[in-house]
């Protein structure tokens, strides 16, 4: 059984050896937070360790692709020569096919956390990478594969991919995936995301495709410091885009969630999130990160929906540049 345990502080070598003596196989340890992932059949010995605050099974999540496609106008960025040069974006997804002519030269590092190799069998991560590249063509991409060929996402793999991304220099991590559960931003994954953001990496997370009910945002989109992205189509919030609770200031922004590539028609908050990641990557070069993030509160187009549906509104590169 794959398990996640919560500790007060990052686990020590001695504590790891204690776990190993009772049959735990270490899968992940964080240098930044008190969280550890391991494989273990008999969990009863865990109760003897007072350094473990709690444990639970590693959850299975979903990639957040819905159905349909439409382009986003980022002409203001391109006319200003803002193409993401020098910025590294980690695509935590199903992998990236580097034989794609647009992506082969921009993927600078890759790591597989699924055990099946870095190739993108699901094609989801490649699509996400192409959206980011279409907006920020000079940004470098990190291929952090956490989604397997069947579209399954193991939560431990997401922890691993996030920390690997930070350790390998990612300025932004894009997660077009999520775990649907009751959370007020206090689950271990959301807390972990907040810790990594404090270390300097922006985390852009899809809100989820479980709308239109309130309180349907997936994790880590519930993380306070994540940039959580809902989806729009034709200037309106899509029915599937997850909403925050009535008292929750999530999502942070919304973006078009529909694109067309040849004969293919795809949509979802999976599409909206990398559009925001691409815009942020384009702006992070010449502008300071916190200033760019602060501009979202006034650099978005108000669509007339409530805060827990549209966040600050639809991200608008031209308006953000005016604010900056």
Percentage of the residues of the chain whose pLDDT score is greater than 90: 86
Angle between helices 155-167 and 188-198 (to 10 degrees): 0
Domains and CATH numbers, the chain: 2-58 (3.30.70), 61-323 (3.40.50.200)
* Residues 95, 145 contacting (CB under 8 angstroms): yes
The H or E element that residue 254 is part of is: strand 253-256
Q: Per residue in 76-102, pLDDT tens?
A: 888 889 999 999 999 999 999 999 888
How far apart, in whole angstroms, are the C-alpha atoms of residue 67 and residue 297?
Answer: 29
Q: Pick from 190, 310, 173: which is nearest to 250 by CA? A: 310
* Residues 108, 88 contacting (CB under 8 angstroms): yes
Report the catalytic residues.
93, 124, 270
β-strand partners of 6: 35, 54
**Alpha-carbon distance values, 22 to 3, 12, 250, 253 (Å):** 14, 16, 42, 46
Angle between helices 124-135 and 269-284 (to 10 degrees): 40
φ and ψ of 235, to 5 deg = 75, 15
71-80, 215-224, 265-274, 295-304: which has the minimum mean pLDDT?
71-80
Query: Ramachandran region of residue 81, left (φ > 0), alpha (ψ -120 to 50) or beta?
Result: left
How far apart, in whole angstroms, are the C-alpha atoms of residue 195 and residue 203?
Answer: 11
pLDDT, mean over the chain = 93
* Residues 232, 256 contacting (CB under 8 angstroms): yes
**Alpha-carbon distance values, 246 to 42, 70, 250, 252, 306 (Å):** 41, 30, 9, 14, 9
Q: Per residue in 231-283, pLDDT tens?
A: 999 889 999 999 999 999 999 999 999 876 655 567 899 999 999 999 999 99
Q: Per residue in 141-200, pLDDT tens?
A: 999 999 999 999 999 999 999 999 999 999 999 999 999 999 999 999 999 999 999 999
Give residue for tokens 């187009």. 301
DSSP assignment of 119-165, as one string? Answer: --SSSHHHHHHHHHHHHSTT-EEEEEE-B-TTSEEEHHHHHHHHHHH
**In the predicted model, is pLDDT for residue 65 greater than 60?**
no
How far apart, in whole angstroms, are the C-alpha atoms of residue 121 and residue 291?
Answer: 38
Query: Ramachandran region of residue 195, left (φ > 0), alpha (ψ -120 to 50) or beta?
Result: alpha
The H or E element that residue 322 is part of is: helix 317-323
Query: Ramachandran region of residue 16, left (φ > 0), alpha (ψ -120 to 50) or beta?
Result: alpha
Q: Pick from 266, 2, 31: which is nearest to 155 by CA? A: 2
Query: Ramachandran region of residue 248, left (φ > 0), alpha (ψ -120 to 50) or beta?
Result: beta
How far apart, in whole angstroms, are the C-alpha atoms of residue 58 and residue 71?
Answer: 36
How far apart, in whole angstroms, are the C-alpha atoms of residue 243 and residue 218?
Answer: 9
**Alpha-carbon distance values, 237 to 240, 310, 311, 313 (Å):** 8, 7, 11, 10
Assign 66 a pLDDT band (cuts: 50, 70, 90): low
């Amino acid at each position: 059984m794959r398990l996640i345990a919560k500790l007060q502080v990052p686990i020590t070598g001695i504590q790891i050896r204690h776990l190993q003596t009772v049959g735990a196989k270490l899968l992940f340890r964080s240098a930044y937070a008190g969280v550890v992932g391991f494989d273990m059949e008999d969990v009863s010995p865990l109760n003897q360790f007072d350094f473990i605050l709690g444990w639970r099974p590693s959850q299975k999540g979903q990639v957040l692709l819905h159905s349909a496609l439409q382009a986003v106008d980022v002409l203001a960025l391109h006319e200003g020569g803002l193409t993401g040069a020098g910025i590294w974006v980690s695509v935590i997804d199903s992998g990236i096919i580097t034989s794609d002519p647009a992506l082969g030269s921009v993927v600078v590092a890759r790591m597989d956390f699924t055990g099946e190799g870095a190739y993108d069998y699901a094609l989801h991560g490649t699509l996400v990478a192409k959206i980011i590249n279409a907006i920020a063509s000079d940004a470098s991409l990190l291929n952090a594969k956490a989604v397997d060929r069947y579209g399954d996402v193991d939560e431990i793999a997401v922890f691993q991919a996030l920390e690997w991304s930070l350790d390998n220099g990612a300025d932004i991590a894009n997660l077009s995936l999520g775990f649907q559960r009751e959370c007020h931003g206090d689950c271990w994954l959301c807390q972990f995301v907040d810790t990594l953001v404090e270390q300097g990496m922006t985390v852009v997370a899809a809100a989820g495709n479980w709308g239109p009910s309130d309180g349907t945002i997936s994790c880590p989109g519930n993380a306070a410091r994540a940039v959580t992205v809902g989806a729009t189509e034709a200037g309106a919030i899509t029915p599937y885009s997850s909403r925050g609770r009535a008292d929750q200031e999530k999502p942070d922004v919304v973006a078009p969630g529909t694109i067309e590539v040849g004969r293919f028609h795809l949509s979802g908050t999976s599409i909206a999130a990398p559009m925001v990641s691409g815009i942020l990557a384009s702006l992070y070069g010449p502008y300071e990160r916190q200033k760019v993030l602060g501009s979202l509160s006034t650099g978005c187009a108000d669509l007339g929906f409530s805060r827990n549906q549209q966040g600050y509104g639809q991200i608008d590169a031209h308006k953000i540049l005016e604010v900056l």
